[in-house]
Structure formats: C-alpha cells, structure tokens
Amino acid sequence: MAYRVVWFKRDLRLHDHAPLAEAARLGPVLCLYLIEPGLWAQPDMAAQHYRFALEGLADLEAELRRLGGRLLVKVGEVVEVLAQLHRAAPFVALHAHEETGNGWTYSRDLAVGRWCREQGVAWREWPQFGVVRRLDDRDRWQREWEALMRLPQQPLPALQFADLPVAGDEWPAPQQLGLDPWDPPQRQQGGRQQGLAVLDDFLGRRCEFYRGNISSPLSAPSACSRLSPYLAQGSLGLREVVQATRAAIACAPAGSRQRQGLSAFLSRLYWHCHFIQKLESEPALEWRNLHRGYDGLREPDWDPARFEALVQGRTGWPLVDACVAMLRQTGWLNFRMRAMLVSVAAYPLWLHWREVGLWLAREFLDYEPGIHWSQLQMQSGTTGINTTRVYNPVKQARDQDPRGVFVRRWLPVMRRVPDSWIFEPWRMPAELQARCGVRVGIDIPEPVVDLESATREAKHRLYARRGRPEVRAAKAAIVDRHGSRKGMPGRVAEHGTRSNRRSAAEPDKSQLSLDF
C-alpha cells in the first residue's frame, strides 16, 4: 500500500490544509501528530501551550473520526517515529507545512530532511502563512504575501485512510514532559470550534470597537480579535482569516466603525507574516542581536534581582505589576502593554532581552517565535532599524488606566490607595500610608530603581552606541534584508501603534523616541 504521512504540527485543522489536500489527492493518508519530548523541554515552552495544543488535537481527532479515519498520536522524537512507521509499512512521502519555529524545530526539520533523503522518502512542504522560504529579495515579499493570501482555500478532500498496525500513545500530562504544570485559569480554550467562534464574534460584532480601544488594557481584551493563539497553533489558517476579513470589509458600510476596525485588523494580519519572515530569513535573531553592533551593550550588567522583581510583578510601578498579574492569570496581554513590559525591562531595568523573552514566551499563550523575538529586539532597541520607543509606565497608567480600575482589579492591595496616589503610591506620606493601611516597602514594593534617572542613563548608553560610525554603517544592510517597504499596509504599525497614534498636535510623550 503506497501511502503518505501527513505530519500535523502547529496546523491543527483539516480546513485549508494544503499538505493534507495534496496527499489525499494522490492516495491513502496517515494523519500523524507527535508529542516531542525534546520540543517541550525547550526553555520557551510551557504547560499552557501544551494543553492548548491538546485541546486542538482533541478537535482534530474528533473530526477525523467523524470522517471514518483516525489521528495517530505518538510520543517520541520525529526521526525515531518515522523510522518505526517506515519499518511497519514503508511510506512514499511525508507531507507537512513549513514551520518557522524556534532553533530546536529548525534543527529537527534539518534532521527530518536528512532522514527522508536517506530513505528515499519524498518530503513535501507547503507554506503555512505568508512567509516565503529562501526569500532572496525583500522587495518582492509583499507581492508573494498577496499571492498566497489570494489563493483559493483548499476544501476538505475525500480522504482514504491508510490502516497501519501501529497503536497510538497516551497523551502525557505536562509534568511527565518536565513542564511546570501552571496553567492560567482564565486563558482561552483551544480547538478549531473555539477559534471559529472567536472569529465570528470579532468579525460580526466586536470589530466595531477595534479602533481606539486596543491600547488600554481595560478595553483591549474584548476590542482585540483574540485570535492570536488560534493562529499560533494553526486551528485557524491565516488565509481563511484574511479572506473572511476581506469579505466582511466588503459588506461593511463605507466609513463605518466596523470597516475602520476591520481594515486596521487586516493590516495586523499582514504584520504577523512580516515579523515571522524576519526569523525565517535570520533564525539567529532568536538568541543574538539583529544588529551585532549592539552586542555587549547590556550583557555585562545582568541583574538577577531586577529580573526577579519583574517576573514576580514587584517592580513597584503599579501598571507594570498589574500587567504581570493579568498575564499570569490569562496568558494574554494587548500589544501596548507587552511593549511597555519589554521597554521597562530594557531601559530602566537595563535587562538583556533574551531571558526576558524566554519568560514572556512561556507566559504568552500565543507564543509565536517569529513575532515574539522580532518584537523583543525591536522594543529593546537592538534591531538598529526601528525608532526606539521608551514607554514610561507612569505616563501609560495615566493615559490607559486613568482611574486605576485595571490596577485595582489585578492588584487588590491598590484598592486601599486613594485615587490621587494611584499612579505613584510610593510617594504617599507616611501618615497616609498608615491611614489607608498600605505600607510602602511592606504591602507594596518600592520602585526597583528611580524611573527617571535610570531611563535617562539607559537612553544615554543606547544613544552612545547608536552613534558609533560602525553601528551606523551596518544599518543599511539590515534595512535591505528585514525592513518594511513603502506601500506596505499599516507601515507605521512596525511600531505597533498605527491606529492609536496621536495627531502631531497631541504627541504621546511617554514614547521618548530616541531618533533625534
């Protein structure tokens, strides 16, 4: 029986699944998912990612069962499992989506390629997003993205299942894979059905609130689409989301809030791939500075106590600590608050982005390496090509949570702090602290550093490095390889703030651009 193995990874769906559609057209298929202990042992992986994947897997398995087939789930490293299957009944081809993952998946895919070549098995891969493998010219990327997004969605093919005498494995608990079992109690649930419900709700109703409400951590949880974990795990395909959004735009009245929201959202889908393309073209950006001229800038000054204060949500800046608390409980934060957390880590706390990024990767349910590491570097000022934005957490609190509702929701101790001290509670006079029962340094932490002087010092160091002739000289090559191009939708959104940018008459002074 000449059959093909379809290897499901972060593409847990049957809809618009080109590797499956092509395999099914050619003959019997074996649908395979691997729980790879090596992957789950990586420092950017967390139990919430694993559980979310299992929820998607349960949906996929049920769908395949309804079609009279099965999903073979094996626990093991891919080359060993493929060899085992091949011994049981040789297969002619391995079909999969291309994955732009972390360094571990990159090396694992190289090993799969070698194994396939040695065994004479054809390995066929299809793009998963609008990300172009072996892209030699960034100028043509936008056209390629558009062409991929315009392709018709692959309908669910008629499936003929290969029947192999190989038993599936039990799905291990996170602890058995060495994962810390913490699972945010309020995180989103996985699976295609959940993903489709979120998509329908956003396109049909919530998109109206997208513009103007995605920066505040109060309104963002319902104003944002909340599709990120479904895209990251592939329960929804990017093309289906892009095409559904375009269809919704076509139906929305011209000039309506819905249409504006949907257009702003559509540009984010574009940026999704723009950022992943950076990691695809330069896998090392996961662990080293995109601009090597910034090497050594922060590394010698790593301060574990500052890092620990950040991770524990005890920096002393209420908005920062409230964001950390929300993230721990929900696995999600909006863009502006993510950017602020990284900015606080990178400037006043002067922490290198790598450890901060690993921590956040584990905390974000939607961890997508290409977006994540590019953003970490961008917000830390090490790409050399982006305007650096330094978010002042006190200014952000005044703008995005002016009445302290968010801070009090996530930091119950702050409920006892009077309104006028909610942004800088450490400045409360001693007798007021006693009266409201909130002692600085005991009930709430004192700020870990003096915000103003630490930020000033950080800017000074970054600017000195940026001014070096060799650092300036290396910039052009990075722009050529990774930079956004004129005419790209939502171009200024490289900084993630397009729809919320203020007019020139109303500058946001919390973003202290260093491009002067």
Ligand X SMILES: Cc1cc2nc3c(=O)[nH]c(=O)nc-3n(C[C@H](O)[C@H](O)[C@H](O)COP(=O)(O)OP(=O)(O)OC[C@H]3O[C@@H](n4cnc5c(N)ncnc54)[C@H](O)[C@@H]3O)c2cc1C
Chain residues binding ligand X by CB under 6 A are 214, 224-228, 231-232, 265, 268-269, 271-272, 275, 334-335, 338-339, 342, 364, 366-368, 371-372, 375-376, 379, 496
Instruction: List residues bridging with 93 in a β-sheet.
Output: 4, 122
How near is the Cβ of 377 to ligand X at its closest, in Å? 9
Cβ(438)–Cβ(417) below 8 Å: yes
Which of 256-269 are b and which e, b meaning 16 or more Cβ less than 10 Å from the residue's Cβ?
eebbbbbbbbbbbb
Q: Smallest Cα–Cα separation from 314: which of 455, 425, 454, 448?
A: 448
Q: Smallest Cα–Cα separation from 127: which of 106, 149, 105, 94?
A: 149
* CA atoms within 13 Å, Cβ hemisphere of 95: 22
How near is the Cβ of 370 to ligand X at its closest, in Å? 8
Q: How far, in Å, CA of 252 to CA of 500, rounded?
A: 21
Q: How far, in Å, CA of 344 to CA of 452, rounded?
A: 12
Helix (H/G/I), strand (E/B), else coil: 429: coil
How near is the Cβ of 272 to ligand X at its closest, in Å? 4
Nearer to ligand X, 149 or 159 (CB): 149
C-alpha gyration radius of the chain: 24
Cβ(234)–Cβ(10) below 8 Å: yes
How near is the Cβ of 341 to ligand X at its closest, in Å? 7
Nearer to ligand X, 69 or 261 (CB): 261
How near is the Cβ of 398 to ligand X at its closest, in Å? 20
Nearer to ligand X, 4 or 278 (CB): 278
Nearer to ligand X, 34 or 337 (CB): 337
How near is the Cβ of 55 to ligand X at its closest, in Å? 17
Nearer to ligand X, 209 or 335 (CB): 335
Nearer to ligand X, 231 or 244 (CB): 231
Nearer to ligand X, 293 or 369 (CB): 369
How near is the Cβ of 261 to ligand X at its closest, in Å? 10
Which of 5-41 are b and which e, b meaning 16 or more Cβ less than 10 Å from the residue's Cβ?
bbbbbbbbbbbbbbbbbbbbeeebbbbbbbbbeebbe
